[in-house]
Amino acid sequence: MAAFARRSHIEVEVARFEDWQPAGRQFDAVIGGTAWHWVDPVVGAAKAAQALRPGGRLAPFHHVPQLPAEVIDALAQALQRVAPDSPFNPGLLRGSAVDAYQPLFAKIADGIRRTGSFSEPEQWRFTWERTYSREEWLDQLPTFGGLTQLPADKMEEVLDSAGAALDKLGDHATMPYTSVVITSTRSPTA
* pLDDT tens series, the chain, 190 aa: 899 999 999 999 999 999 999 999 999 999 999 899 999 999 999 999 999 999 999 999 999 999 888 888 888 888 888 888 877 777 777 788 899 899 999 999 999 999 999 999 999 999 999 999 989 989 988 888 778 888 899 999 989 998 888 888 887 888 999 999 999 999 997 6
C-beta of residue 47 within 8 angstroms of C-beta of residue 17: yes
Q: What is the C-alpha separation between 41 and 111, in angstroms, rounded? A: 5
Confidence (pLDDT) at 91: 73
Confidence (pLDDT) at 56: 98
46 burial level (CB within 10 Å; 0-12, 13-18, 19+): buried
Q: What is the dihedral of CA 133, 136, 137, 138, to 10 degrees?
A: 120
Confidence (pLDDT) at 85: 81
| Pair type for strands 27-33 and 52-65 | parallel
Question: Phi/psi of residue 130, each to 5°?
Answer: -140, 135
Confidence (pLDDT) at 190: 63
Q: What is the C-alpha separation between 105 and 123, in angstroms, rounded? A: 8
